[in-house]
Structure 1
Amino acid sequence: MKNKRCSWWVRTGFRLFFGGLAFFIAVAFPFLPSLAALIGGIALPLTLAYPCFMWISIKKTHQKGHGVMWCLNLGPGCLGMVLSVLLVVAAVWNLATKGLHANFFHPE
């Protein structure tokens, strides 16, 4: 708020808190790596597709015609959505064939 750096003890507290939180999640949910592809497929459009579609929507390029920038944003946007769908389908297929062995606090 005052445009100053946090003190060393605040930064250390943040690091300890988030490091402890990551450690707790890793111990409590040892089956998360088998869900990583599904979580990544759901989050993929946030980084690949939505910004492209937001640019098209904000610039209102559909009213002026389809230029080079419109194509350069529509292409990766559609590619990101297709990759996301493929990744989610592959992750669900993998979970259906191999199964999910969810065990809390018992890594095996």
Structure 2
Amino acid sequence: MSTNPLLKGTLQTIILKLLEDNAEMYGYEITQKVKEVTAGEIMLTEGALYPALHKLEADGFLETFTQVVDNRVRKYYRLTEEGGKEVTSKLSEAQSFIEQLQALLNLKPAVK
């Protein structure tokens, strides 16, 4: 994972949002999507990703299925109905926290 300690607290939110946007993904695909979207600024390691995926699955937010691709078994993750609700909750929490952080640090939102 990126050396940025701020990422640790948002990893579950990132995973849930990616799965909401992409329906189903396998682990390596998630790491590559994060790398692509952040232009390589955030790199997820297996050591960070898989414990987060397993926790989300244990909490009932993800379900898994396997598929054979090129003679290899690939484990896919997708949101459960409960997981879909959790995405909305996590995104709302993240947005609120970012707004509070901007106010505390007197940061202006980036203009693109």
TM-score by length of 1: 0.30
Q: Rg: which structure is higher? A: 1
With CA pairs under 8 Å and 6+ residues apart, which has the higher RCO, 1 or 2?
Answer: 1
TM-score by length of 2: 0.30
